[in-house]
Structure 1
């Protein structure tokens, strides 16, 4: 489980260190930085997938994602005693992201390359990556260190060089990581790869989920929800069918669901609602009903991830469905760590009824995202590698 998330110099986030629990709720007014924090977490996940540089390019390049304010916001700037203005930077421009886990922790720093004539001269470079033992970085706790092109791992009282010519656009996860030579890299890479993000469920008229789809065992719902029928049938056969039927009944009293063969190995959904003489197909369901079934399939997965992230799951849902969704999310948080980004008051109130809900309320002051009520001494302990 992640214990701490740290982000620095990314869009509206100049510096943010967040304590995390089993169930995390990120909220705040529009423009407070919820989306930026979510995108930073997705970027962090891309390190283990080999796509962090490409992901930054899709955002407009590294330079456009840097914090646009001064390097340091002083107390006098906050009080309005002096104007907000830049000064000579004391440290290189770096986008930094990292997290502390229960056993190992990880951080990455990205920067701009030295000017060249290459067509790729705007591509960001990975300057430093570190894996260390425990939640707090110290030189003595460092286990794997990538500094420029060299990757080394601690071996007894010394260091073993794992790679000397690592491309500056490749993460250490792309170059090393085996159970024998570098088990910490292998374990961290697999841990990050098990993170799961859901924020782009398609429910429009042309969405694949509305048509029968080829069915195979599907313990993990596709990120756009196209294999919903197969995922629901997988829960029925090897998951928790009682929880599935209870979740449907909780949201839609008197309703029930079947998955039927549709010929050619395809699966189709039949949704029975109280008072109707025939079941509704996925093509006939409202956006809200279909989206709720997608959330049920993702949250009741027979293969829980190490981290599940739901970005504004209330989209298209009627407010009356949000308490049932909250109960479903709380149940899922008993199986894996859950991160929810939301601004729906009814969902927020229902999630906060769980005593383990870690509610993070964001605010923006002078363009900088911060946590409401968090002072310097309230921040979790965190050190960036030099």
Structure 2
């Protein structure tokens, strides 16, 4: 029996020894996950876990490690042992039955260099149950892989213990299950959008995906104009409904080869340069380009979308994000009750730091009092304002 292809989703994430996240587990993650809490609670640290893994798979573990100032700034204060991440998700090969998959990565440091002390990829052997099989198991650059054609294990050795076996072997078609994970993680998009960067005038040339800061926004508009005009028109239609006076957005190549972004207001005959457009309009355009990507990212991370956006636009943005969560898993961190009002209890997690300085998390749907009030018509943002969301308010810290 054929099975419809379902987007891969992280079902569970466990983080150990990563900054304030000494031991935190997110279970039964929804397609849309929203994280709220006071300043300094650890929201950005959770976001950075995704960034760390993405950087490690795309730029290399050493670069990701060094970018965060190595073990002294990465490992939880007062802790010993490796920094560990464990992902559980469901995946299938060639349209087969989806299987529960576990990926575990443990990293430590020796002589200032990161070392992969453990890396393991396991697939269950039957739908929903069955004994896990080690597809890949490495320690300190050496390990074994399971050959799916012969059913035999093969010993492998990497060139260096700071290399990720999944990243290296996932480039080969002979390791399809490893490739699925590598493609999944390298397909993430994590947004650190800066409105100032979206006003950039870059060198002309199409770009398929928006950069993390949005500094190539004109290039992505150019790419969509040339390759996906219908999708670009769809983005413009959505934007025009949210910003009624905006008629169209266009990119223009200058004589010196740079690319200019221009936006036209309906009442005026000529478009204006993006540098003269409001922060909120540019940021909403950038978010819509990410959310309406013709080849959607496997995971989308958005940090504090409320910045530079009018509060009335936040419920609208939440609606757009919910629609895209049917094809991409989405993680959002926020301080905005207006945004949280549009979120369901199973999608909302609160985070706070305890007396020991380490963060803990709790899902809103695990609080019976919160569930009872939501069933009576209360919105989660209102409950947050009124102090009913445990650990989400600075007064609770």
TM-score of the pair, normalised by structure 1: 0.79
Asked if structure 1 preserves the Cα contact closer than 8 Å seen for 2:62 and 2:113, the reply is yes
Asked if structure 2 preserves the Cα contact closer than 8 Å seen for 1:96 and 1:109, the reply is yes
Asked if structure 1 preserves the Cα contact closer than 8 Å seen for 2:105 and 2:116, the reply is yes
Asked if structure 1 preserves the Cα contact closer than 8 Å seen for 2:141 and 2:163, the reply is no
Q: 1:100 corresponds to which residue?
A: 88
Q: 1:168 corresponds to which residue?
A: 161
Q: 1:74 corresponds to which residue?
A: none
Shift of 1:362: 0.9
Assess, with a 3 A threshold, how the Cα gap between structure 1 residues 357 and 273 changes in structure 2: closer, same or farther.
farther
Q: 1:229 corresponds to which residue?
A: 218
Asked if structure 2 preserves the Cα contact closer than 8 Å seen for 1:247 and 1:324, the reply is no
Q: 2:22 corresponds to which residue?
A: 14
Q: 2:201 corresponds to which residue?
A: 211
Stretches of structure 1 lacking an aligned partner (at least 5 in a row): 72-91, 114-120, 377-386
Q: Give the total of aligned pairs.
A: 340
1:23 to 7, 11, 32: 32
Shift of 1:22: 0.9
Assess, with a 3 A threshold, how the Cα gap between structure 1 residues 277 and 154 changes in structure 2: closer, same or farther.
closer
Shift of 1:292: 1.9
Q: 2:318 corresponds to which residue?
A: 326
Asked if structure 2 preserves the Cα contact closer than 8 Å seen for 1:259 and 1:267, the reply is no
Shift of 1:365: 1.1
Asked if structure 2 preserves the Cα contact closer than 8 Å seen for 1:111 and 1:127, the reply is yes
Please give the root-mean-square deviation of Cα atoms over the aligned residues, in Å: 2.9
Which of the pair has the greater relative contact order for Cα pairs under 8 Å at 6+ separation? 1
Q: 2:239 corresponds to which residue?
A: 248
Aligned 1:1-386 pairs, distance under 5 A = 1-19=9-27, 20-69=29-78, 93-103=81-91, 104-113=101-110, 121-134=111-124, 140-155=132-147, 158-161=152-155, 163-199=156-192, 201-204=193-196, 207=197, 209-211=199-201, 213-216=203-206, 218-235=207-224, 238=228, 239-264=230-255, 267-273=259-265, 275-276=267-268, 278-350=270-342, 352=343, 355=344, 358-366=347-355, 367-372=357-362
Assess, with a 3 A threshold, how the Cα gap between structure 1 residues 187 and 362 changes in structure 2: closer, same or farther.
same
Asked if structure 2 preserves the Cα contact closer than 8 Å seen for 1:213 and 1:268, the reply is no
2:35 alignment partner, SS class = strand
1:5 alignment partner, SS class = strand
Asked if structure 2 preserves the Cα contact closer than 8 Å seen for 1:44 and 1:98, the reply is no
